């Protein structure tokens, strides 16, 4: 088993749990993925699926939080992932998960790449 497998799974499990609390649908990618770990589908006011969704890439581990300040966590995607996310047919959320702090930050990856800013700071999970 790859050394980082448990860390990756903790991140996915945290996201899945938080989305259940928010009453959103989480659809994990069941086969080997490249750049997308799953999709979030949104529900309407009657808790019915809307068909509106976003792709999600989760990066889990302390290493993704190196260089953080009180306001930002820097992250630069490699060219391969950036190109993939930019051309993905639905918006893509990039979520960073810190397993020790159980903290999750997210950003709209495509919007950030368009503006050439690669800083994350919106909390999803505490």
Number of structural domains the chain divides into: 1
Copy the structure tokens of residue 39: 């999709």
With CA atoms as reference, report the closest residue to 54 among 90, 99, 100, 101. Answer: 90
CATH number of the domain residue 10 falls in: 3.40.1350.50
Copy the structure tokens of residue 46: 């009657």
16 — pLDDT class (breaks 50, 70, 90): very high
Question: Could you report the per-residue pLDDT of 68-117, keeping only the tens digit for each?
Answer: 988 888 888 888 888 888 889 999 999 999 999 999 889 888 777 665 54
Task: Report the pLDDT averaged over residues 48-75.
Answer: 91
CA distance 12 to 56: 10
DSSP assigned state of 81: H
For residue 121, what pLDDT is reported?
Answer: 47
| Structural domain that includes position 116 | 5-125
For residue 124, what pLDDT is reported?
Answer: 47
pLDDT of residue 125 exceeding 60: no
Give exposure, 14-43, as e/b (b: 16+ Cβ within 10 Å). Answer: bbeebbeeeeeebeebeeeeebbbbbbeee
């Amino acid at each position: 088993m790859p050394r980082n497998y448990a860390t990756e799974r903790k991140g996915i499990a945290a996201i899945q749990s938080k989305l259940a609390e928010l009453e959103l649908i989480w659809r994990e990618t069941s086969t080997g993925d490249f750049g997308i770990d799953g999709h979030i589908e949104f529900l309407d006011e009657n808790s019915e699926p809307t068909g509106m969704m976003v792709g999600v890439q989760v990066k889990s581990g302390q290493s993704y939080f190196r260089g953080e300040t009180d306001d930002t966590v820097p992250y630069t995607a490699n060219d391969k992932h950036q190109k993939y996310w930019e051309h993905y047919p639905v918006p893509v959320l990039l979520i960073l998960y810190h397993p020790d702090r159980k903290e999750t930050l997210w950003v709209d990856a495509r919007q950030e790449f368009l503006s050439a800013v690669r800083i994350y700071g919106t909390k999803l999970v505490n």
